[in-house]
């Protein structure tokens, strides 16, 4: 299995451990990743300003992957959602597609719509499969409770993203449980992390994050688990600043899914970038058998 | 005389230029917080920083960076072999020419006491180095002329630099060619070194030999020469000339030029073309020297400096005064190579939005103008602000900059300065602000909030109806234009299916976050859908709700009527911005 890895802007700049741990895990599970240097912004940050520009940005990435005949594997949920939205717009609206392709043609590119955009979690779940993962798990977790944070832009709008059941998703929980961990049920697991408003309305953004943290903590989670740079930064970097501002009463560390999985596959903590998380998660190794 | 006068003038300009440019590193201000740091503090901090660094293990880092990044240009090699080759050819071959040829009295003669420019290996090497520089220039010209991307720009400065280099090398080769063929120089040399004034036959013999073998073009000589005459010329050559003259074929570029102009050599010699080429050659060199601090040649000094300084500094641990100085150095270190723009994550946006400030290499030119205190009209300043904000902070420009400039940091400083100006920058109301949110602690509280409020207020200033919430609305006639505008995607006009069940509002986490949501948010999601259905533009575009929407899609997912609430919000946001921004962001 071969995918073009779309790391996006935020992961390489602010969350290198997400990329390194994903690469390590996928390699361990026998996937081949191809890097396309020309990839650009996924378009997501531009949607508030100009939908046309965001679709153009997304379409260029899709066209670049099409040129290599590769499906795209996206690490970020917002980028994933953006690609899905762009594919939808370009499929439904032939005049938009024509306009976008006119621009892309100048670089010798064309959006045809013949590849698939996949998120890391759906590749692991559907393409690799739980059984294959379980076979590779050599150090399963014991007695650890994980709260899965699904991330809005992967789940919704479900008719476009087609990721999982939007009201009762289970992919992420099953993936977490394949490592031997317990995935807890908690009320606000499908809610927003607040990251899209960071920098626009920080108070609101932090309020939303706090509520989730409190709920996960009260539901008995040891760790919060993410598979999106925005969500993770919100629950890691931003949580740390809230904690230092307000005396730190949640302290629910957040771990990236490939870090969680990687440890149980026997990959070392350094490759997974455990120490690069802002809130210390190294203690999680105690739960490994 | 002319040579020395122009040399000293150019050296004087060079020294004054360098002094001015260097001093500017200590008073030029880019970031907001650097405005309060006096020049004296910056000078003292720099001196202390340099001493402390040299006395620490960081010295090893400096040595490594100097070797790998400054000398071997590792960063450029990672990006493009062709560019690395072009640059290395020019950089290395020109440096060797400078040391061996231009500074021969100081360098080459000191190392090789037998040095003479017309003997090998020096004569051959000079042409080798010159040819390598020319090859490098040709690759660089090819890149700039045959570039496919419309994004990588070539400024007049880039042309001047390449042309000046080409003139130096080509005039040097022509000078050499003219000298090889020159009969007058030959005669002068013979009279100076061979002492053949009284011996006409010997002079003839030597001339025949030089015409045959050394490319000299003599007038009034009958060829072919007698073999014995040439042989006797060779003997005279061995005793009088050979010590200082290798065969000119070794100077292959000059010799080829001489051969090409052989037919015109006598006329050229009479016209004194070798003197002309000599003037061109040294004047071009001296112009380059004087122009150095003011041209992209300045990067010869500033790019290594930027690479070194950046390898031992970081924003968290270094003194703010030194960061301010580093940023001033960095804007001099940019040589407009365009590598940042070639890898820019939002470069594609420039294809649609013709604002060059989106492209990092061009934004740098604007930053230079602003930092150098040039007057910038308000309209242009707004363009610079808009372009500077269209950045995902992906760090790629910084990673690939061959001069090691911390561009991301520079853009952040530039952006924060521009955001304090009195016009709104609407892109601040997008997730592009995520980076700014994470950097909040580095900005003062009021500076942080002001531009966000300014953008929101500028958008809210238009819609009138929403401001008189106490009075019942006299419904205006529906704004068909509004409904017509929401067609960016085929989901924009789904608001018309809304039957007001309020599910969207009930599931909204933002609404749920407030006790009195309407006080904070203005209209709530179902009200906005309803207002859009009625065609009341003021109500749909004037609510804070639009900008506080976290785009979690709960509303849209749960709507029983298939109204694409979040998508409608996105399109209303686009519309609100394009209504108030004079030309939108386009």
- Considering the entire predicted model, what is its pTM? 0.93
Query: Taking a C-beta distance cutoff of 8 angstroms, is the pair A281, A240 a contact?
Result: no
Q: Do B392 and A198 touch (CB under 8 A)?
A: no
- Cβ contact (<8 Å) for B547 and A201? yes
What pLDDT is recorded for position B483?
64
N-to-C CA span, chain B = 58
Interchain proximity A51–B570, CB inside 8 Å:
yes
Q: Write b or e for each residue in B51-63: b if 16 or more Cβ atoms lie within 10 A of its Cβ, otherwise e.
A: eebeeeeeeeebe
Give the number of domains in chain A: 2
> CB-CB: which of B349, B435, B490 is closest to A57?
B349
Last residue of a domain, one of A84, A119, A154: A119
Q: Hey, are the CB atoms on B431 and A13 less than 8 Å from each other?
A: no
**Tell me, what DSSP letter sits at residue B68?**
I
Residue at A94 is within a domain: yes
Residue A40 has pLDDT above 60, yes or no: yes
Q: Two tokens at A219? A: 């539901």
Same domain, A162 and A277: yes
pLDDT of B487 reads 62
Q: What is the pLDDT of residue B104?
A: 94
Q: Is there a single domain that holds both residue A150 and residue A283?
A: yes
Task: State the pLDDT at residue B33.
Answer: 84
Residue A183: CB atoms within 10 A of its CB come to: 22
> What Å distances lie between residue B442 and A202, B315, B438, B445, CA to CA?
15, 10, 9, 9
Answer yes or no: do A112 and A221 share one domain. no
DSSP string, B449-503: HHHHHHHHHHHHTS--GGG--SSPP-PPPP-HHHHHH--SSTTGGGGGG-----H
Most A-contacting residue of B550, B584, B585 (CB-CB within 10 A), to test interface? B550
Query: What's the gap in Å between the CA of B516 and the closest CA on chain A?
Result: 14
Residues on chain A touching B346 (C-beta within 8 angstroms):
40-41, 46, 57
Here the CATH number for the domain that contains residue A53 is 1.20.1050.140
Under a CB-based contact definition with an 8 Å cutoff, are residues A99 and A110 in contact? no
Tell me whether residue A19 is in a domain: yes
The answer to whether residue A168 sits within a structural domain is: yes
Q: Coil, helix or strand for A255?
A: strand
A157 with A238, same domain? yes
Burial class (CB in 10 A: 0-12, 13-18, 19+), A275: exposed
Q: Which residue of B has its CA nearest to A77?
A: B552
pLDDT at A185: 96
| CATH number assigned to the domain with residue range B466-585, chosen from the 4 options 3.40.50, 1.10.1060, 1.10.1240, 1.10.287 | 1.10.1060
Best A15, A50, A54, A233 residue to mutate vs chain B (most B CBs within 10 Å):
A50
A80 and A181 both lie in a single domain: no
The tens digit of pLDDT for each residue in A213-234 reads 999 999 999 999 999 999 999 9
Taking the CA of residue A97 and the nearest CA in chain B, the distance in Å comes to 11
Are the beta carbons of B59 and B53 closer than 8 angstroms?
yes
- Which residues of A are less than 8 Å from B392 in CB distance? 9-10, 41, 45
Q: Cα separation of B36 and B31, whole Å?
A: 10
Residues 6+ apart with CB under 8 A from A275: A269, A282
The answer on A229 and A184 residing in a single domain is yes
Residue B132 and residue B173 in contact, taking contact as beta carbons nearer than 8 Å: no
Q: Give contacts of A47 with chain B, Cβ < 8 Å.
A: 430, 551, 570
Inter-chain CB proximity B431 and A199 less than 8 Å: yes
Q: Which sign, positive or negative, has the C-alpha torsion B316, B318, B324, B325? A: negative
Cross-chain residue pair A199–B557, CB shorter than 8 Å: no
User: Looking at the structure, do residues A140 and A179 belong to the same domain, yes or no?
Assistant: yes
Q: What per-residue confidence (pLDDT) applies to A141?
A: 98
Q: Considering the domain boundaries, does residue A124 fall inside one?
A: no
The residue from A97, A119, A141 where one domain ends is A119
Query: Which residues in chain A are closer than 8 Å to B490, comparing Cβ atoms?
Result: 89, 92-93
Q: Which two tokens stand for residue B471?
A: 């009075």
Instruction: With CA atoms as reference, report the closest residue to A64 among A106, A16, A4, A120.
Output: A4
The answer, yes or no, to whether residue A246 has pLDDT greater than 80, is no
Report the candidate in B258, B245, B254 with the shortest Cα–Cα distance to residue B206. B245
Phi-psi region of A251 (alpha: psi -120 to 50; beta: other; left: phi over 0): left
- Cis status of the peptide bond prior to A72, with omega within 30 of 0: no
The CATH number of residue A274's host domain is 3.40.50.11810
Same structural domain, A13 and A63: yes
- pLDDT by position in tens, chain B (length 586): 789 999 999 999 999 999 999 999 999 999 888 888 999 999 999 999 999 999 999 999 999 999 999 999 999 999 999 999 999 999 999 999 999 999 999 999 999 998 999 999 999 999 999 999 999 999 999 988 887 667 888 899 999 999 999 999 999 999 999 999 999 999 999 988 877 777 888 888 999 999 989 999 988 777 778 888 899 999 999 988 988 999 999 999 999 999 999 989 999 999 999 999 999 999 999 999 999 999 999 999 999 999 999 999 988 889 999 999 999 999 999 999 999 999 999 999 999 998 999 999 999 999 999 888 888 999 999 999 999 999 999 999 999 999 999 999 999 999 999 999 999 999 999 999 999 999 999 999 999 999 999 999 999 887 776 776 666 666 666 666 666 666 666 777 888 899 999 999 999 999 999 999 999 999 999 999 998 888 888 888 888 999 999 999 999 999 999 999 999 999 999 999 988 876 545 5
Residue A249 pLDDT > 70: no
Between B585 and A254, the more confident residue is A254
Interval A88-103 mean pLDDT: 94
pLDDT 10s digits, A185-222 = 999 999 999 999 999 999 999 999 999 999 999 999 99
Q: Where are the domains of chain B?
A: 1-72+295-333, 180-277, 336-460, 466-585
Query: Would residue A125 count as lying in a domain?
Result: no
Closest CA of chain B from A155, distance in Å: 9
From CA B182, how far away is CA B178, in angstroms rounded?
Answer: 6
Residues of B in contact with A14 (CB under 8 A): 438
Q: How many CB pairs under 8 A join A and B?
A: 184
Secondary structure class of B242 (helix, strand, coil) = coil
- A262 is a domain residue: yes
pLDDT value, residue A248: 53
B395 neighbourhood in chain A, CB within 8 Å: 12-13
Q: Which residues of A are less than 8 Å from B148 in CB distance?
A: 107
β-strand partners of A41: none
Compute the nearest-CA separation of B399 from chain A (Å).
10
**For B442-448, which contacts have Cβ atoms below 8 Å and span 24 or more sequence positions?**
B442/B315, B443/B32, B443/B416, B444/B32, B447/B32, B447/B416, B447/B419, B447/B420
Out of A76, A93, A119, pick the residue that ends a domain. Answer: A119
Q: Which helix (H) or strand (E) holds A34?
A: strand A32-35
DSSP per-residue codes, B528-557: HHHHHHHT-HHHHHS-THHHH-----HHHH
A158 near A190, Cβ under 8 Å? no
Q: Which domain holds residue A212?
A: 132-287
Provide the shortest C-alpha distance from residue B61 to chain A (in Å).
23
Token reading at B486: 């929401």
Identify the CA nearest to B572 among candidates B471, B462, B472: B462
List chain B residues with CB under 8 Å of A12.
394-396
What's phi and psi for A141, nearest 5 deg?
-75, 155
Q: What would you report as the CA-atom Rg of chain A, rounded to the nearest whole angstrom?
A: 19
Q: Is A177 helix (H, G, I), strand (E, B) or coil?
A: helix
Q: Which residues of A touch B344 (CB under 8 A)?
A: 40
- Is the ipTM higher than 0.85? The answer is yes
Under a CB-based contact definition with an 8 Å cutoff, are residues A194 and A209 in contact? yes
- Cα B85 to Cα B74, B77, B92, B176: the distances in Å are 11, 8, 10, 27
**What's residue B485's pLDDT?**
65
What are the backbone dihedrals phi and psi of residue B301, each rounded to the nearest 5 degrees, phi first?
-95, -40
Q: What pLDDT, in 10s, does the model give residues A4-32?
A: 999 999 999 999 999 999 999 999 999 99
Residue A100 sits in the same domain as residue A179:
no
Q: What CA–CA distances, in Å, run from B53 to B26, B48, B317?
A: 19, 8, 13
Of A53, A205, A211, the CB nearest to B349: A53
- Yes or no, beta carbons of B488 and A158 under 8 Å apart: no
């Amino acid at each position: 299995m071969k995918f073009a890895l779309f790391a996006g802007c935020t992961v390489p700049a602010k969350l290198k451990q997400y990329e390194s741990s994903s690469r390590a895990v996928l390699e361990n599970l026998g996937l081949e990743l191809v890097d396309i240097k020309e990839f650009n912004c996924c378009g997501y940050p531009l949607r508030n300003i100009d939908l046309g520009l965001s679709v153009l940005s997304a379409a260029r990435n899709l066209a670049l992957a099409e040129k290599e005949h590769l499906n795209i594997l996206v690490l970020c949920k917002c980028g994933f959602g953006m690609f899905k939205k762009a594919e939808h717009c370009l499929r439904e609206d032939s005049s938009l597609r024509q306009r976008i392709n006119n621009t892309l043609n100048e670089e010798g590119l064309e959006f045809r719509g013949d590849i698939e955009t996949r998120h890391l979690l759906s590749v692991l779940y559907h393409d690799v499969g739980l059984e294959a993962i379980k076979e590779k798990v050599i150090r399963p977790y014991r007695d650890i409770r994980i709260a899965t944070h699904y991330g809005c832009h992967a789940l919704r709008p479900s008719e476009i993203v087609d990721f999982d059941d939007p009201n009762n998703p289970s992919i992420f929980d099953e993936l977490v449980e394949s490592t031997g961990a317990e995935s807890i049920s908690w009320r606000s697991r499908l809610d927003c992390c607040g990251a899209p408003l960071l920098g626009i309305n920080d108070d609101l953004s932090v309020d939303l994050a706090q509520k989730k943290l409190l709920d996960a903590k009260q539901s008995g989670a040891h760790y919060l688990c993410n598979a999106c740079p925005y969500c993770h930064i919100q629950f890691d970097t931003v949580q740390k600043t809230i904690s230092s501002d307000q005396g730190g009463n949640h302290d629910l560390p957040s771990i990236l899914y490939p870090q969680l999985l990687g440890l149980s596959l026997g990959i070392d903590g350094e490759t997974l970038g455990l120490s690069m998380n802002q809130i210390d998660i190294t203690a999680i190794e105690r739960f490994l058998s | 005389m002319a040579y020395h006068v122009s040399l000293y003038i150019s050296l004087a300009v060079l020294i004054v230029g360098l002094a001015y440019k260097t001093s500017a590193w200590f008073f030029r201000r880019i970031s907001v917080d650097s405005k309060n740091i006096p020049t004296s503090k910056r000078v003292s901090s720099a001196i202390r920083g340099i001493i402390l660094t040299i006395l620490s293990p960081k010295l090893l880092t400096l040595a490594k960076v100097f070797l790998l990044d400054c000398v071997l240009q590792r960063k450029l090699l990672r990006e493009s072999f062709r560019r690395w080759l072009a640059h290395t050819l020019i950089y290395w071959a020109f440096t060797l020419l400078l040391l061996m040829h231009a500074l021969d009295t100081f360098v080459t003669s000191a190392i090789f006491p037998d040095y003479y420019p017309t003997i090998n290996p020096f004569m051959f090497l000079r042409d080798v180095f010159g040819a390598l520089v020319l090859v490098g220039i040709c690759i660089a010209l090819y890149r700039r002329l045959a570039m496919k991307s419309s994004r990588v720009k070539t400024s007049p400065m880039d042309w001047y630099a390449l042309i000046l280099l080409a003139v130096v090398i080509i005039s040097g080769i022509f000078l050499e060619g003219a000298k090889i063929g020159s009969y007058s120089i030959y005669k002068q040399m013979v009279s100076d070194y061979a002492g053949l004034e009284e011996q006409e036959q010997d002079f003839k013999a030597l001339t025949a030999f030089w015409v045959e073998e050394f490319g000299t073009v003599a007038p009034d000589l009958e060829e072919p020469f007698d073999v014995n005459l040439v042989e006797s010329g060779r003997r005279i050559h061995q005793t009088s000339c050979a010590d200082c003259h290798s065969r000119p074929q070794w100077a292959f570029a000059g010799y080829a030029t001489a051969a090409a102009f052989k037919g015109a050599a006598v006329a050229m010699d009479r016209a004194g073309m070798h003197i002309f080429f000599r003037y061109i050659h040294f004047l071009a060199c001296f112009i380059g020297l004087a122009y150095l601090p003011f041209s992209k040649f300045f990067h010869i000094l500033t790019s290594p400096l930027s690479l070194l300084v950046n390898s031992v500094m970081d924003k968290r641990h270094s003194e703010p005064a030194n960061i301010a100085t580093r940023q001033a150095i960095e804007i001099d270190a940019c040589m407009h190579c365009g590598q940042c723009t070639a890898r820019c994550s939002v470069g594609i946006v420039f294809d649609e939005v013709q604002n060059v400030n989106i492209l990092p290499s061009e934004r740098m030119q604007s930053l230079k103008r602003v930092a150098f205190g040039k007057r910038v009209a308000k309209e242009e300043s707004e363009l610079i602000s808009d372009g500077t904000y269209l950045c995902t902070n992906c760090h790629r420009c910084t990673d690939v900059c061959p001069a090691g400039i911390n561009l991301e940091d520079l853009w952040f400083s530039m952006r924060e300065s521009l955001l304090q100006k009195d016009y709104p920058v609407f892109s601040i109301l997008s997730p592009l602000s995520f980076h700014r949110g994470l950097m909040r602690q580095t900005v003062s509280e009021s500076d942080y909030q002001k531009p966000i409020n300014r953008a929101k207020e500028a958008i809210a200033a238009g819609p009138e109806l929403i401001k008189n919430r106490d009075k019942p609305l006299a419904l205006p006639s529906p704004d068909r234009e509004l409904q017509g505008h929401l067609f960016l995607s085929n989901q924009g006009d789904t608001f018309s299916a809304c039957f007001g069940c309020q599910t969207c509002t009930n599931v909204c986490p933002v609404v749920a976050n407030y006790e009195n949501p309407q006080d904070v948010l203005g209209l709530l999601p179902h009200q906005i859908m309803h207002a859009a259905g009625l065609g009341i533009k003021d109500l749909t575009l004037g609510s804070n709700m639009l900008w506080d929407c976290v785009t979690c899609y709960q509303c849209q997912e749960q709507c029983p009527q298939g109204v694409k609430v979040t998508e409608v919000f996105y399109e209303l946001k686009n519309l609100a911005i394009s209504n108030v921004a004079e030309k939108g962001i386009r």
